[in-house]
Chain A
Amino acid sequence: MATTGVMRPGHIQLRVLDLDESVAFYKDVVGLVETGRDAAGRVYFKAWDERDHNSVILRQADRAGVDLIGFKVKDKATLEQLDKDLQAYGVATERIPAGELLETGERVRFTIPTGHVMELYAEKTDVGNGQPYTNPDPWIAASEHGIAPHRFDHCLLYGPNLEENLKLFTEVLGFHLVERVLLEDGKSLLATFISCSHKAHDLAFVAHPEPGKLHHLSFLLDSWEKVLRAADIMSMNRVSIDIGPTRHGITRGSTIYAFDPSGNRFETFCGGYETYPDHAPITWTFDEVGAGIFYHDRKLNERFLTVVT
């Protein structure tokens, strides 16, 4: 599909309990590239293959979790239009000036029905992936350092009001529903997987009474072998592994989940399928959700389902 409107997840700001420990972790174990530090003490990273200045931002705080998630939109006209559309829909928006995040343009900030702070922006400085735009090589030294994912790919958020939330994303922000999980009543949503692109998910939500919770942020690898290598790197570094390597029924990704030093869960995955807005959504029933989540185990995993920051 032609990617217009909201294009992709662009940044996530995480709260960490010990900044130095977390910087070392994201740099040397996850294998992100540090790109800057600001006056507020936040540390900025990008995955080696990303072109924009930053995608993961760490802020030291007294509790773990997610501060905000930013989506890049096609251009400034799109940003203005989406701000108008959000307000017309009844969502209060706020402008964050250019430069408040390093190398990032003006942002439109709003809170979604699940209680998460979401932002849209049109501009972030292109610093490149270490290769020229003329006659590049396929990879660079940074792509071998640590787990070294290609990009920050998506995140899964926990909060209430999934029906209302899905309406906002599909009717105002141009996302389409790719997969969903229904509760025991066969009607209410337990989970939604939505896309603003051809990816199987750019965002996912699970119903949860507490608003604004982070289940995981996810990084893309390009093969199952790289997922196994990620698992080895995690064990070598005594990283707290949650589950995997295994495969999801939902979205079909091959995956391993672990926790950062503050307990924020992250995923390194590969695969899945491509989706288009005309594809009928896939539905998982409550009695088969175990296999939907972990296709080989075929049963619900208490820690994976309930531990959030």
Chain B
Amino acid sequence: MNTPAPKVFHQVTIVETGEVYRCREDETLLAGMERLGKRGIPVGCRGGGCGVCKVQVEAGEYSKRVMSRAYVSAEEEAGGIVLACRVKPLSDIRLAVLGKMKKNVCATPSAAAADARQS
């Protein structure tokens, strides 16, 4: 019987909340947070398409996959601004949350327009 390879974990710190969780090297920062029922990074499509889980990695190494240019520019990506659903940790990570849910739909048209102007 094959023994599964031991799993490699890294520690992820969300600076705003001080939330700390262990994330596997083979799962994304977002998936690791969600699997433990933790909060801090907003969860959207989990596929690099919607931009809700945008974070700034302040320290640490990571691997990444293609993410939507509608939400992360090439310059931002080069500067460590990424979508947490597309990034896997290669070391301990410190990150700041940039993304947010936009409650446009629940707002009146005027409030939604104001929200759109701000974003």
Instruction: Give A residues with C-beta under 8 Å from B.
Output: 17-18, 62-65, 158, 183-185, 188, 190, 206-210, 240, 242, 259-265, 300, 302-303, 305-309
Contacts and interface: CB of A to CB of B under 8 A. Distances in A.
7 nearest interchain CB pairs? Answer: A263-B49, A263-B45, A64-B49, A263-B47, A209-B116, A240-B46, A63-B70
A62 B47 contact: no
Interface stretch (B2-10, B17-25, B61-69): B61-69
B118 to A, nearest CB: 11
B109 interface: yes
Nearest to B42: A303
B47 A262 contact: yes
Contacts of A307: 44-45, 50, 52, 101
A210 B116 contact: yes
B33 to A, nearest CB: 14
Contacts of B116: 209-210
B83 to A, nearest CB: 9
Interface in B84-119: 101-106, 108-109, 112-113, 115-116
A188 B107 CA distance: 12
A261 B70 contact: no
The DSSP consensus for interface residues of chain A is: loop
Contact of A309 (B68, B105, B109, B112): B68
Interface of B: 43-50, 52, 65-71, 101-106, 108-109, 112-113, 115-116
Contacts of B68: 17, 62-64, 262-263, 309
A26 B66 CA distance: 19
Given A62-B69, A63-B68, A209-B116, A263 B44 contact: yes
16 contacts: A63-B70, A65-B70, A183-B109, A184-B108, A206-B105, A209-B115, A240-B45, A240-B46, A260-B47, A262-B68, A263-B46, A300-B106, A306-B52, A306-B105, A308-B50, A309-B68
B105 A305 contact: yes
Contacts of A184: 108
A17 B43 contact: no
Contacts of A65: 49, 70
A259 B46 contact: yes
Given A64-B70, A260-B47, 16 more contacts: A17-B66, A17-B67, A18-B66, A63-B69, A64-B50, A65-B49, A65-B70, A207-B105, A207-B112, A208-B112, A210-B116, A263-B49, A265-B45, A303-B44, A307-B50, A308-B50
B108 A183 contact: yes
B3 to A, nearest CB: 22
Given A63-B68, A209-B115, A305 B47 contact: no
Contacts of A263: 44-50, 68
Contact of A209 (B45, B47, B67, B112): B112
A58 to B, nearest CB: 13
A79 B25 CA distance: 55
Pick from B45, B70, B115 the residue with the most CB of A within 10 Å: B45
